């Protein structure tokens, strides 16, 4: 994305709503699954925290210290201001720049591991997990067989790394983890919590005269939402709770 695109992208994703599909209810459900494997006074790293919607939920639930990590400073400032949680501007693929190995009891990441790829993420993050630690993350997945060609073409162009639920389970296994629990996020985590908010923002921003680049960004979002509207039964976010074998 060039500078103009990026600036307009952040006008849409201004931190007033989640940075991807999800909900407080799903965060809480996933945390409750993880909780039984964790002790008291734990250290938690929230990777790709965005503007901190899941961080706020974790803050209410966790007995311990949370650190929120992202590379977008405006989001980190918002988290710090609104929650008091410690923030770190660091790339998720270079955690050694900010943390020692075996630092965290719980590594959390909603809708962000796709940035480095599931296998790479699990390989790198493992180093920073304490023995007996847990990783909770949500990640895109095919959830129904035989997707239509229009949808396959769309994903091929936008995120060709998307894999099936079974393939994601295999990656988790191959990276040395076992699955403690998993569930598919409900469609309202996409619609009510995410796409409806984007639609509202697009409507507001379109009241201004948009440049051709800005129109392209609007179009990109509309296409994504249309795909979900038409074919959302074929793909979803799966929340996994995993531990080292
Ligand atoms: C799809 S959003 C998810 C945000 C949040 N977890 C949520 O679900 O609302 C992905 C986040 O990853 C952040 N990000 C992008 N590249 C990153 C990197 N290399 N390291 C850490 N965070 C990154 C973005 O700034 C963005 O906030």
Per-residue pLDDT of 51-74, as tens digits, reads: 999 999 999 999 999 999 999 999
User: Is residue 12 scored above 90 in pLDDT?
Assistant: yes
Domains defined for the chain, CATH in brackets: 20-187+234-244 (3.40.50.150)
User: Is residue 210 scored above 90 in pLDDT?
Assistant: yes
Distance CA 112, CA 116 (A): 8
Question: Percent of the chain beyond pLDDT 90?
Answer: 99
User: Is residue 173 scored above 90 in pLDDT?
Assistant: yes
The alpha carbon of 111 and the centre of ligand 1 are apart by a number of angstroms equal to: 7
CA torsion, points 79, 80, 86, 90, in degrees to nearest 10? 60
Q: Exposed, middle or buried by CB within 10 Å (0-12, 13-18, 19+), for 174?
A: exposed
The alpha carbon of 210 and the centre of ligand 1 are apart by a number of angstroms equal to: 26
125 neighbors 147 (Cβ within 8 angstroms) = no
pLDDT at 185: 98
pLDDT at 202: 98
Q: Calculate mean pLDDT across residues 156-177.
A: 98
Q: Which one of 23, 53, 70, 85 would you pick to mutate in the ligand 1 pocket, going by the greatest count of ligand atoms within 8 A of its CB?
A: 70
pLDDT at 7: 96
Mean pLDDT of the chain: 97
The alpha carbon of 213 and the centre of ligand 1 are apart by a number of angstroms equal to: 23
Question: Percent of the chain beyond pLDDT 70?
Answer: 100
Distance CA 62, CA 31 (A): 9
Ligand 1 atom 10, closest CA: 112
pLDDT at 199: 98
The alpha carbon of 146 and the centre of ligand 1 are apart by a number of angstroms equal to: 30
Ligand 1 atom 4, closest CA: 50
pLDDT at 87: 98
Ligand 1 atom 19, closest CA: 91
26 neighbors 186 (Cβ within 8 angstroms) = yes
Distance CA 35, CA 39 (A): 8
The alpha carbon of 149 and the centre of ligand 1 are apart by a number of angstroms equal to: 29
pLDDT at 1: 79
Protein residues with CB under 6 Å of any ligand 1 atom: 18-20, 22, 48-50, 53-54, 69-72, 75, 91-92, 110-112, 115
The alpha carbon of 121 and the centre of ligand 1 are apart by a number of angstroms equal to: 13
């Amino acid at each position: 994305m060039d500078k103009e695109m990026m600036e307009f992208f952040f006008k849409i994703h201004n931190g007033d709503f989640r940075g991807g599909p999800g909900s407080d209810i799903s965060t809480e459900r996933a945390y409750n699954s993880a909780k039984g494997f964790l002790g008291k006074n734990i250290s938690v790293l929230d990777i790709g925290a965005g503007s901190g919607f899941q961080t706020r939920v974790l803050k209410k639930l966790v007995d311990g210290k949370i650190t929120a990590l992202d590379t977008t400073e405006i989001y980190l400032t918002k988290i710090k201001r609104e929650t008091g949680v410690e923030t770190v501007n660091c790339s998720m693929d270079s955690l050694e720049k900010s943390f020692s190995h075996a630092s965290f009891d719980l590594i959390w990441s909603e809708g962000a591991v796709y940035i480095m790829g599931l296998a790479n993420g699990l390989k790198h993050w493992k180093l920073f997990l304490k023995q007996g630690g847990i990783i909770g993350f949500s990640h895109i997945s095919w959830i129904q067989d035989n997707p239509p060609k229009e949808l396959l073409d769309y994903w091929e162009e936008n995120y060709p790394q998307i894999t099936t639920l079974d393939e994601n389970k295999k990656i988790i296994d191959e990276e040395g983890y076992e699955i403690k629990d998993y569930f598919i996020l409900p469609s309202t985590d996409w619609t009510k919590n995410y796409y409806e908010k984007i639609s509202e923002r697009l409507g507001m921003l379109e009241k201004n005269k948009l440049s051709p680049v800005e129109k392209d960004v609007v179009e990109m979002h509309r296409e994504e939402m249309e795909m979900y509207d038409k074919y959302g039964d074929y793909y979803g976010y799966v929340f996994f709770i995993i531990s080292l074998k």
